[in-house]
Amino acid sequence: MELKNGNHKFEQSRAELASLITSHTIVEGKQHTVLPNLQLLRTTSVSEYLHSIYEPSLIVIAQGSKVVTLGDESYQYDSNSYLVSSVHLPIVGRIVEASPQKPYLCVQINFTIDQVMDVIKETDQAWDGKSDFGRGLVINKTNDLLMDAVVRFVRLLDSPEDIKVLAPFIIREILYRILQDDHRNVIKQFAMSGSQSYSVGKIIKLINEDFAKPLRIDELAEKANMSTSSLHSQFKRVTAMSPLQYQKRMRLQEARRLLLADSFRDAADVGFEVGYESPSQFSREYARMFGLPPISDRKRLKDSLAFHLTMI
C-alpha cells in the first residue's frame, strides 16, 4: 500500500517522530518505554517472516515499510499509513524496507476497547446498528492531525514528569483522530454493544483468557447469543480464521514465548501448559507453523535478530 501524503506539516512531524524513535532506541529491536502503552522499534535490516500477536493498538511507521499477513490476506503499510488492530490477532509480519542508512522505525500505542467507547460516548458518534464491517485489522492513510498527536505522545518520553497528567489526554486525542477517519466504523463496531463484531470480540477475549482449555463452540455461541454457524462465520470475518484455528495459533505463539523466556524449559511441559496433551502432536503442529520443532526453533531464534523483533 503506497500512500503518498505530500503535506509539508505531515513530513515535518514524521521526521520528528523518526528522530524521537532513534534517540530512544539504544539497541535494535523492540523497546519498552516509561509510557506503559508505548513501544518503539528500530532495525537496520529487512526481516524474515515473524509470528507475533497484535493487541488492540495503533502502529505508525516513521520510516520504512512492512507487510503483515492475517490468515491468507496480506497488507503492506509504510510511513504514509497506519495500522489499527481492534482485537488480539495472531499475525505474520515481515519488514521489507530497512537499511543501516534508513532504519525501519515505528511506534506501537496500545489501547482498550473501553477507551474507544469513552471517546465515542463523548463525541455522540452514531452507529446505525446495521453496518458490521468485519476484519479486526485496518490500514488507512495517516493525516497530519493524527501524526501530530502521535509525535506529542512520544515526545513525553523527554519530559517524564508530564506523563501522568498529559498521556491520558493525548491517548484520547489519538483515538478521536482515528474515529474521524474513513475506516472509523471498522474500529467503532468492536466497541458498540449489539454489533456482531462486539460479540466476536467478547469471544476472542474469552479464548485468550484460557486458550489451554478445550474449545466448546456451542458454549461460546451461547455466550455470544449466536448460532454455532453464525459464530463460526462472524469469527472468521473478524480474524480471517476459524475459532479453532485462532486458538491453535494463540497456543503455539504462547508456547514459543515460553520457550524463548526460559532456555532450559522442556518442550513437552510447555506444550502441556498451552493445552496439548500429546507431546508428538505439539511438536508436529509447532514445526508446521514455525518451520522447526520447538527446541531447534528456540536455538535458531536465540541466535538471530528475529528474537528482538517478534512483537511489532
The string of pLDDT tens digits covering residues 30-88 is: 999 999 899 999 999 998 888 999 999 999 999 999 999 998 899 999 999 999 999 99
Q: Is 54 left (phi over 0), alpha (psi -120 to 50) or beta?
A: beta
pLDDT exceeds 70 at position 266 = yes
pLDDT exceeds 90 at position 191 = no
Extents of the domains making up the chain: 8-188, 193-312
**Would you state the pLDDT for residue 303?**
73
Cell numbers standing for residue 180: 474521524
Banded model confidence at residue 3, pLDDT cuts 50, 70, 90: very low
Banded model confidence at residue 2, pLDDT cuts 50, 70, 90: very low
Mean per-residue pLDDT, 264-276: 95
**Would you state the pLDDT for residue 310?**
53
Q: Which residue type does 255 have? A: A
Q: What does the pLDDT look like over 213-238, one tens digit per residue?
A: 999 999 999 999 999 999 999 999 99
CA 130 → CA 134, 173, 212, distances in Å?
Answer: 12, 27, 35
**Would you state the pLDDT for residue 184?**
74
Instruction: For Cα atoms 271, 273, 279, give the angle at the middle one, nearest 5 degrees.
Output: 25
pLDDT exceeds 60 at position 94 = yes
Mean per-residue pLDDT, 179-201: 82
Q: What is the pTM of this model?
A: 0.89
From 1.10.10.60, 3.30.160.270, 3.20.20.70, 3.30.499.10, which CATH number describes the 193-312 domain?
A: 1.10.10.60
Q: What does the pLDDT look like over 10-29, one tens digit per residue?
A: 999 999 999 999 999 988 88
* Three-state DSSP state, 22: helix
- What is the average pLDDT value for the chain, to the nearest integer? 90
Distance CA 41, CA 105 (A): 6
**Would you state the pLDDT for residue 301?**
84
**Domain 8-188 top-level CATH class:** mainly beta
**Would you state the pLDDT for residue 120?**
87
**Would you state the pLDDT for residue 149?**
98
